[in-house]
Amino acid sequence: LMVVLFLAIGTNFLFHRTINRPMNTLLEGLKSFSSGGDGGILDLGRTDEWLIIETAFNKMANDLSSSYRALSNSEKRFRELSELLPQPVFELDRDGAFTFSNQRVTDIFEYETDELLNGVHIYQLVDPPWIERVHDMIGKVIAGLEVDGEETVAMKKSGSLVPVLVYCAPIR
């Protein structure tokens, strides 16, 4: 009976040391990474199969962090460049809600950026008789086509009208 008890305790200790501890460390790294952290450098202190998992995790975390930084820098450059343009530049989702706008949109259409990004729909910036035409333009873009200099009439927040030429393309 003592031998069985000793074997059970030894097996439990061995299982905890060889499987549970590295698995829990790996799970903590994954949780940190998935919640926006960098996951840190995983060090399981092992030289067996866990070293392969540790190496793969650290490479994945490093590659993903590098890609995220590059994407963040690219997005920053895009936003800075769009602010230098004299034209209004904006991005819509498939439903016509604003997901991005430069300062020129605010200057011309009198909506603050926060307003645009929190509930203003593209059709609120279109003179009602022109909504069908704008709807057709959006349909072209959703179909993967570009719109190149089509005329329409936009409406400012104050209700005053402004003629515009629309250029748009799908973001691929």
Q: What is the pLDDT of residue 14?
A: 65
Q: What is the mean pLDDT of the chain?
A: 87
Q: What is the pLDDT of residue 76?
A: 94
pLDDT of 99 strictly over 90 = yes
Q: What is the pLDDT of residue 37?
A: 66
pLDDT > 70: what percent of the chain? 92
Alpha carbon distance 31, 40 (integer Å): 11
pLDDT of 144 strictly over 90 = yes
Q: Where do we find the tokens 């793969």?
A: 56
pLDDT of 34 strictly over 90 = no
